[in-house]
Amino acid sequence: MSNLTIGLLGVGVLLAVLLLRLPIGVALALVGTCGYAAIDGWRKALTVIGSVPFELASAYSLSVVPLFILMGAVASRAGMSRELFDAANAIFSGFRGALTNATIGACAAFGAICGSSIATAATFSKVAIPEMRRHGYEDGLAAGCVASAGTLGILIPPSVILAIYSLVAEQSLSTLFAAALFPGLLLAALYILVVVIIARVKPEWTPKVAGMPLAQRLRAAKDTWKLALLFFLAVVGIYLGWFSPTEAAAIAAFAAVVIGFATRTLSLRGLYHALLDTVFSTAMLFFIIVGAFIFSRFIVLTRLPNELAAWVQAAGIGPLAIVLAVIALYFVLGTFLEEVSTILITVPVILPLMTSIGYDGIWFGIFVTVMATIGLISPPVGLTVFVIQAQNPDIPASKIYRGTLPFLVADFVLVGLLVGFPALALWLPGVLKI
């Protein structure tokens, strides 16, 4: 049996065991190890199993992940999400659909200090949905808005998903953060446009909330200085060349703790739970990453990515057809895999193919992250939908999925714009020269 055949068989077996609900980290490590052994023997396969965890544990660049997770956990425990929602609500008040737009704006801002879609959706599910339902908003729209806006957390920098992609694809995290800024803001704007259209077509779904006086708006907005400071330390400092991503994450996480205690919004118990959340989330991610790197070593050994690129070139398939096929692949995978698993499984295979037809690795990182946001709200396994349904059991999952459909259209519009205008992602890194 040739190496290529073993590689194709390994990918098929991996998808099969994932459909059987085997934990993703175990599935990746098991298939990768057995595949490596089938090609190069068990001695070398066991060597890979022993060396990969050590290499990752000693990788300085990987320390950025728990630090960004800690910053988001502390910010959530310190109540910054409620302050952001109140400020966004003050800005949009007086317009039909103000609470949904406030939710989108607050999720976009919170995503800039959280980096996790699941955490963003879970946080604003508790803050925004009760408020929207109290004012008479349609349940599906309220829940679908939070589920969709929560996905902004993995696109707007700093993003944990982009940090993981940078490790797998060996791309600059600073450049990825710069590349993600405009697409992330554009997606938030498209979501707001969706709400405006819904408010015109179905005004009964978005009751008008009374506007606020200017003084009250300013009072509500003043607490956003915390977010502005953390965003400056975590992202702008990187753009200016003051910090490396790891340094920025460490400084911003420490600043979040200091701000929480200084403003008396964070207690020792809250810090303890934030640290505990960070440990659990980091352990889960690192376990999956270790399995993914073992699987990646197996895929590289089979030369499957090279053979796939050579086959595409020989077949004369056009770049647009390849991009459409990749979009379809990610859409299907997103229906049963969460975003970390999708990226870790596919990037070693798909990235060489995309670079062979002229696409940049930085652009592909933004593209695949946007596709991951689609998977987060696509049935049957939209993770942000499940998170919201678990916190609001009286809202059926089917109704939440219906509420996400208009926002899915906005996601695909962004995908089309990225394919048609790659400069959306590549212009800012070029200007900043990072």
The contacts of residue 385 (CB under 8 Å, 6+ apart) are 147, 376, 377, 379, 397, 400, 401, 404
Q: Can you read off the two tokens belonging to residue 172?
A: 């600059």
3-state helix, strand, coil in the chain (%, to 5): 80, 0, 15
Q: In angstroms, what CA-CA distances link 162 with 213, 247, 373, 427?
A: 40, 16, 12, 18
Burial of 213 (0-12, 13-18, 19+ CB in 10 A): exposed
Task: Tell me the sheet residues that pair with 96.
Answer: 208
Q: Which of 113-127, 353-367, 400-414 has the lowest mean pLDDT?
A: 113-127
* CA atoms of 278 and 73, how far apart (whole Å): 7
| Tens-place pLDDT, residues 225-234 | 887 888 888 7
Asked if pLDDT for residue 367 goes beyond 90, the answer is yes
**Does the bond joining 380 to the residue before it have cis omega, within 30 degrees of 0?**
yes
For residues 363 and 422, is the Cβ–Cβ distance under 8 A?
Answer: yes
Computed from CA positions of residues 199, 201, 203, 204, in that sequence, does the dihedral angle turn out positive or negative? negative
Q: In angstroms, what CA-CA distances link 164 with 46, 144, 363?
A: 24, 27, 15
For residues 114 and 120, is the Cβ–Cβ distance under 8 A?
Answer: yes
* CA atoms of 109 and 397, how far apart (whole Å): 26
Q: Which of 32-36, 372-376, 379-383 has the lowest mean pLDDT?
A: 379-383
The contacts of residue 421 (CB under 8 Å, 6+ apart) are none
For residues 88 and 101, is the Cβ–Cβ distance under 8 A?
Answer: yes
Banded pLDDT at 115 (limits 50, 70, 90): low
What is the per-residue pLDDT for 340? 77
Banded pLDDT at 191 (limits 50, 70, 90): very high
Banded pLDDT at 362 (limits 50, 70, 90): very high
Banded pLDDT at 257 (limits 50, 70, 90): very high
Banded pLDDT at 179 (limits 50, 70, 90): very high
What is the per-residue pLDDT for 305? 67
Asked if pLDDT for residue 209 goes beyond 70, the answer is no
pLDDT average, residue stretch 313-330: 82
pTM over 0.85: no
| Tens-place pLDDT, residues 66-109 | 888 888 788 878 877 777 777 777 777 667 777 888 888 888 88
pLDDT average, residue stretch 59-68: 78
Q: Can you read off the two tokens belonging to residue 326?
A: 């990749």
